[in-house]
């Protein structure tokens, strides 16, 4: 009976997690990060380059290559699509839920593991951030796998070498997913747990040397190759994008409390359990109280470290906190199970709690599934150019002339049109853009729609016209072509610089 109940819970968890992470995976890529991380592996695949990430012909050293390699594999199997690129983060989020579940089962029992994994799976912010095409979901998976295997290795009565090696290899993948932050997030809780937990194994120097070697070894050849090929790589990647971004941020500066509402609101309704959990935590300080289970202590330790580490960082983005959420969910699941087992009138309390848990889980799952199926596609379209580019894609295939973006680059253009020959013009290069347009018989142009489009149309020579293509949006798409009856500038005299008809209409 217990085995059948366990199988049913596992089936429910896999079904719910599968729906939340893979339903509507064909949502449009949201500017600016998702198109960039979809375009870089596309360009690497086109150039048969599997070592150095390239971005519009230039090396891109901001992030390690694991995400790019996995997306390239999806492109090779399924073709170049936005949904095939999103298979990587969605799979990482799905696997994170399953690993959390297996971890809870092994350390705290079936009920605690199921409760914690369901809380994680039914946390709206975790689902949304975990589906985005960024490095954060992949790093989250690697950190959770590293600490899960590490905890299983040292929780006694002896060091389990198999789990110890799995933990080190997962950490190595973390180094290839987002860099040294994986080591920092994983090693501190492991070391602290061995010091604070009486029953934990304390590996000696040799196991730790093997762990560090196995963690660094698989990632070392890539770092060494880029350091050899590019003299400034180590300074740019390790110093600027890791150390300085953390200590002296040059972008995304946020206050120290930035992640508190991200976690508390993003994991509702389960984060409400933090109130009794914190209250019980203060009572744990009394020597006469019953200690918490080891699994609860370890998951709390990992969560607190991740939360404090990212909160103290000068540079903050919403997705950075993703690795902390699984540990909080597992701590809450462990705490709920521990509270149920300590209840006075156990059977009555269990029955009421089980009914409340079932209703809360079912209603949260229904709301999240409705959000994924109905609201997420529309929300993604607000920050995407796919709708506009779909109408331009067919015209682009037959057009081998100039494609320009003004006043900035949009990676959606190169990804959805599958072209790498775009020209980018900044606002300071407006005159050069106008000169190039006059020498091109027909140009596909992408112009930012707010004040830049009226300014561009006003500056457009009278010999040229802008013909919109597709529906309007945040970016105007259209053809810049010669007006009928005009001749190229090298054959004509001076022309009147009055605004074209489209500009006059937009400026009214």
What is the phi/psi pair of residue 364, to 5°?
-65, -40
Greatest extent of the chain over all pairs of C-alpha atoms, in Å: 96
How far apart (Å, rounded) are the C-alpha atoms in residues 76 and 408?
30
Question: What pLDDT was estimated at residue 1?
Answer: 55
What pLDDT sits at residue 290? 62
Low-confidence ranges of the chain (pLDDT < 70): 1-3, 249-252, 282-291, 343-354, 398, 485-508
Give the strand pairing for 423-424 and 402-406: parallel
Measured between alpha carbons, how far is 97 from 205 in angstroms, rounded to an integer? 33
| Interior/surface letters 26-53, b for 16+ CB within 10 angstroms, e for the rest | ebbbbbebbbbbbbbbbbbbeeeeeebb
The residue behind tokens 């560090």 is 212
CA distance 27 to 373: 10
Sign of CA dihedral 203, 206, 207, 213: positive
pTM, rounded to two decimals = 0.88
**Helices 135-154/66-78 angle, 10° precision:** 110
Per-residue DSSP letter, 490: T
pLDDT at 347: 60
Residues ≥6 apart with Cβ < 8 Å to 268: 123, 124
Contact 183, 215 (CB under 8 A): yes
Distance from C-alpha of 124 to C-alpha of 113, rounded to nearest angstrom: 19
CB 256 within 8 A of CB 321: no
| Nearest residue to 178 (alpha-carbon basis) of 64, 68, 71, 72 | 64
State the Cα–Cα distance between residues 371 and 441, nearest whole angstrom.
Answer: 46
β-pairing, 464-468 vs 58-59, is unpaired
- CA atoms of 351 and 348, how far apart (whole Å): 5
The predicted pLDDT at position 172 comes to 94
Instruction: Tell me: cis bond preceding 269? Omega within 30 of 0 counts.
Output: yes
Token pair for 307 = 């939360």
270 alpha carbon, distance to own chain's centre: 22
Q: State the burial class of residue 57 (Cβ atoms within 10 Å of its Cβ: 0-12, 13-18, 19+).
A: exposed
Give per-residue pLDDT as tens, 31-75: 888 999 999 999 998 888 888 888 887 888 888 999 999 999 999
Q: 3-state SS string over 211-270? A: HHHHHHCCCHHHHHHHHHHCCCHHHHHHHHHHHHHHHCCCCCECCCCCHHHHHHHHCCCH
Q: How far apart are the first and last CA of the chain?
A: 75
CA–CA dist 346, 335 (Å, integer): 16
Per-residue model confidence (pLDDT) at position 503:
36
CB-based contact 292:235 (threshold 8 Å): no
Structure tokens at 200: 């934990």
Count Cβ atoms within 10 A of the Cβ of residue 488 and give its class: 0-12 exposed, 13-18 middle, 19 or more buried.
Answer: exposed
């Amino acid at each position: 009976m217990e085995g059948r109940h366990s199988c049913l819970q596992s089936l429910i968890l896999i079904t719910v997690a599968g729906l939340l992470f893979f339903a509507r995976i064909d949502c449009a890529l949201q500017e600016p990060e998702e198109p960039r991380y979809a375009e870089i592996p596309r360009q690497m695949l086109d150039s048969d380059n599997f070592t150095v990430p390239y971005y519009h012909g230039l090396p891109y050293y901001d992030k390690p290559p694991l995400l790019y390699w996995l997306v390239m594999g999806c492109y090779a199997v399924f073709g170049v699509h936005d949904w095939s690129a999103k298979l990587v983060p969605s799979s990482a989020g799905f696997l994170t839920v399953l690993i959390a579940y297996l971890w809870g089962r092994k350390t705290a029992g079936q009920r605690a593991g199921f409760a914690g994994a369901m809380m994680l799976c039914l946390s709206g912010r975790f689902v949304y951030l975990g589906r985005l095409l960024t490095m954060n979901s992949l790093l989250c998976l690697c950190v959770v796998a590293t600490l899960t295997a590490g905890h299983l290795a040292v929780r006694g009565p002896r060091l389990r070498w198999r789990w110890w090696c799995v933990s080190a290899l997962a950490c190595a993948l973390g180094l290839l997913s987002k860099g040294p932050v994986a080591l920092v997030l994983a090693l501190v809780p492991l070391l602290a747990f061995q010091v604070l937990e009486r029953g934990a194994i304390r590996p000696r120097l040799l196991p730790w040397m093997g762990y560090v070697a196995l963690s660094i070894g698989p990632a070392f050849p890539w770092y060494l190759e880029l350091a050899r090929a590019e003299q400034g790589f180590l300074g740019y990647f390790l110093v600027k994008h890791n150390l300085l971004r953390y200590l002296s941020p040059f972008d995304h500066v946020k206050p120290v409390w930035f992640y508190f509402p991200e976690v508390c609101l993003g994991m509702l309704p389960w984060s409400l359990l933090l109130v009794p959990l914190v209250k019980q935590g203060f009572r744990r300080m009394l020597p006469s109280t019953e200690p918490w289970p080891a699994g609860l202590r370890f998951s709390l330790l990992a969560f607190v470290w991740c939360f404090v580490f990212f909160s103290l960082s000068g540079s903050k983005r919403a997705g950075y906190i993703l690795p902390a959420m699984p540990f909080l969910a597992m701590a809450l699941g462990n705490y709920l199970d521990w509270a149920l087992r300590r209840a006075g009138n156990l059977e009555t309390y269990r029955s009421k709690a089980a009914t409340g848990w079932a209703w809360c889980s079912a209603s949260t799952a229904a709301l999240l599934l409705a959000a994924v199926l109905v609201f997420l596609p529309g929300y993604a379209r607000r920050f995407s150019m796919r709708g506009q580019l779909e109408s331009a894609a067919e015209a682009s295939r037959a057009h081998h002339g100039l494609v320009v973006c003004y006043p900035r680059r949009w990676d959606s253009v190169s990804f959805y049109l599958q072209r790498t020959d775009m020209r980018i013009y900044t606002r300071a290069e407006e005159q050069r853009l106008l000169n190039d347009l006059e020498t091109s018989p027909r140009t596909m142009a992408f112009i930012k729609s707010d004040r830049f489009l009226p300014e561009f149309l006003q500056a457009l020579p009278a010999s040229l016209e802008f013909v919109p293509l597709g529906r309007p949006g945040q970016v105007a798409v259209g053809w810049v072509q010669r007006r009928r009856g005009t001749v190229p500038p090298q054959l004509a005299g001076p022309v009147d610089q009055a605004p074209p008809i489209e500009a006059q209409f937009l400026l009214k």
